[in-house]
Structure 1
Amino acid sequence: MKDGSASLNENAQRIADGMIHDAERLRISVSKGPSGESLIDAGAKVLGSVEAGLRMAEAAMGGLGTISAVMDRSLKKWPLTVEVRSSQPVLACLASQYAGWNLSSGKYFAMGSGPARALARVEPLFEKLTYKDTASSAVLVLETAEPPPPAVVQKVADATGLAADRLTVLYAPTQSLAATVQIVSRVLEVALHKANDLKFPLENIVDGIGASPIPALHPDFLTAMGRTNDAIIYGGIVQLFVKGSAKDAKGLAEKLPSKASRDYGQPFANIFKQFKGDFYSIDPLLFSPAEIIVTAIETGDTFRAGGRDLMMLERSLG
């Protein structure tokens, strides 16, 4: 046991193994890469499914998240919604789900997500996270249409201290059913990441739940990427349960919504074009849910800020 949870990678490996067992039902394909790594294609050369995306997201959270697809009738045009809960939100979201590991090589570009990051611990974020995983296998999640080339597989193997044949890679392109679901399943994660950027003590975030509409997928990469981002930025809602003073909880609630960003108010695809495709020029405070609820568990106070922007959802999700 580590920080009150079993190994993130062991948890994720069980989920990945279940996906392999149910491959036909999930409409995914399973193969071995040139270095012996296990490859699970959830949407590149296969159709994939919503369920494959849900399981992909659960693996990305190291098994510490409960994720489901539900029908939210309050959003009449986009009722299909993903709901994410975690009682270990810092570990599930920041130590595992956050796509913070640059695994680009040559013309291949991918940001690594999933619990393999907690074994590698190569990102500056892990200077704040005390969690250290130990496992005999590792699970990596990639938002890409191509499996990682041998150079990337070797980079992951070296960083995690595991042989390549102990790695399982789940991947799907942005335009697929599975990727669309697993991307909007990050609605809670973006709130945690922004809370960290705002220097709110991560140890004070003890529980969380989030929901986001699942947009229709689109064959164009930029449109698909814009829709998944806008689903969270203009349609996501998160409630966090925190320790500490009511004042701190109120301050967090006021600063967390995406509306606090200077770049708020346009479809994400337009913002991306405006900054010539440079993610790092976009205000990082934009990447957060539209509506925030923060409950201070030691005082009983609850604070609310932001709100869903139906006009922006109409412009982006169609």
Structure 2
Amino acid sequence: MTAKPSVGTLAAPLVEALIRDAATLRLGVEKTASGATIVDGGIAVRGGLEAGRRITEICLGGLGFANFVADARFPGWTTGIQITTNDPVTACLGSQYAGWSLSEGDFFALGSGPARALWAKEDLFGELDYKDQAETAALVLETDKRPPDSLISFIAKECGLSEDKLTLILTPTTSLAGSVQVVGRVLEVALHKAHALHFPLDRIVDGTGLAPVPPPAADFLGGMGRTNDAVLYGGEIALYVEGPEDEAEQLANGLPSSTSRDHGRPFGEIFAGYNYDFYACDAGLFSPAKVRVTALSTGKTFTAGDYEPALVQKSFSGA
């Protein structure tokens, strides 16, 4: 495997700080009988925006920064989360992407974060030529339930670690922390779509992203709708790529969510139209609203897509 940064090693101090500051961040922390650490980001505790920001940086494998910024693009919703990373492929696809599907009994969750790179059984890791060798693992689960102990043991075993080296961070989409960490994937979804468009990942040098932070919803479907709408209709990214100028332009034109047949309605309506089958939705929809791609060979920037303020307002206000 090509020598690359260890997302697990880089994220470990961020995980330690999250646990150390749990009381201030309104997080719950427990140890299982086998020694695994469970961090509750909003199930039995309140959690908060700052917790979500920190969890986003853990998901990025310590290779990126998440910051709250003033965002004047959408009247009434003036807080945005900005993502920056100088290694977007490893940070977003090698760590942040929610690519580990975990289920047992009535429990199901998608796992993201640095532990994925220890497991490294997704086909994507073969393409990235990457497998982590960290001594600890952190996995973020989008869930409102505590995973069963047997599944926790399975995760640790799949990562090749004892359970006392594993931390699971649970983030319900209806929580403040959960909302932030989902919207904090605005750059990651662009990387994932670039991969689907067969743009060479090794030519993506740098990246930034911005999306408005929605209010949390009262239920899972509402939360899924608002967080997706924040990215699909309010998200903006910039990529800096190597290679021919015309290929940078082609990438820009192919990336925005507006290229999808499903674009133009609140995600909650789209999801309901597919009988709540996430995988029936057009995969091309999951991308930011507006993109800029700069060809480093010439310095020319190509812009495509645009925001949909009315849809953001409708989604966030519950109208």
Match of 2:184 in 1: 185
Q: Secondary structure at the match of 2:67?
A: strand
Aligned Cα root-mean-square deviation (Å): 1.2
TM-score by length of 2: 0.97
The superposition leaves residues 55-111 of structure 1 with CA deviations (integer Å, 9 ceiling, x where unpaired) of 101001101111001111232221110000000000000000000111111110101
Which one-letter code corresponds to 1:218 in the other structure? A
**SS of aligned partner of 2:80:** strand
> Within 5 Å, which residues of 2 pair with 1:137-216?
137-216=136-215
The alignment partner of 1:39 has SS state of strand
Identity, % of aligned pairs?
48
Q: Which residue of 1 aligns with 2:231?
A: 232
Q: Distance in 2 between matches of 1:129 and 1:189?
A: 15
Q: Deviations over 1:15-40 (max 9, x none)?
A: 11001111111111111123321011
* 1:4 shift after superposition: 4.7
- Any conservation in 2 of the 1:35–1:153 contact (CA below 8 Å)? no
- Paired letter, 1:148: P
Residue 128 in structure 1 maps to residue 132 in structure 2: no
Counterpart of 1:274? 273
In 2, distance between residues paired with 1:130 and 1:96?
Answer: 13
Q: Which residue of 2 aligns with 1:9?
A: 8
1:133-173 deviation digits (Å, cap 9, x = unpaired): 11111010011112221222122112111111110011121
TM-score (norm 1): 0.97
What is the CA deviation profile of residues 234-277 of structure 1, one whole-angstrom value per residue up to 9, with x for unaligned ones? Answer: 00000000000100000000000000001101111111111111
1:219-245 Cα offsets, whole Å, 9 max, x none, are 121111100000000000000000001
Q: Which stretch shifts more, 69-78 or 165-174? A: 69-78
> SS of 2:135's equivalent?
coil
Note the 1:1-318 alignment, pairs <5 A.
Answer: 3-5=3-5, 7-318=6-317
* Count of residue correspondences: 317
Say which SS state the counterpart of residue 99 (structure 1) adopts.
coil
Decide whether the 8 Å contact of 2:237 with 2:292 is kept in 1: yes
Contact 1:122/1:159, CA 8 A, preserved across alignment: no
- Could you tell me how far apart the structure 1 residues matched to 2:315 and 2:188 are? 22
Q: Secondary structure at the match of 1:82?
A: strand
Is the Cα–Cα contact under 8 Å of residues 4 and 130 in structure 2 kept in the other structure?
no
Say which is worse superposed, 230-239 or 41-50, in terms of deviation.
41-50
Give ranges in structure 1 of 5+ residues lacking alignment.
none
- Per-residue CA deviation, residues 116-143 of structure 1 (Å, 9 max, x unaligned), is 0000011121121112211111010011
- Check whether the contact 2:125–2:131 (CA below 8 A) recurs between aligned residues: no
What is the CA distance between 1:204 and its match in structure 2? 0.4
The residue type paired with residue 51 of structure 1 is E
Q: 1:33, 1:225 → 2: CA distance?
A: 29
Contact 1:174 1:224 in 2 (8 A): yes
Letter of the aligned partner of 1:59 in structure 2? I
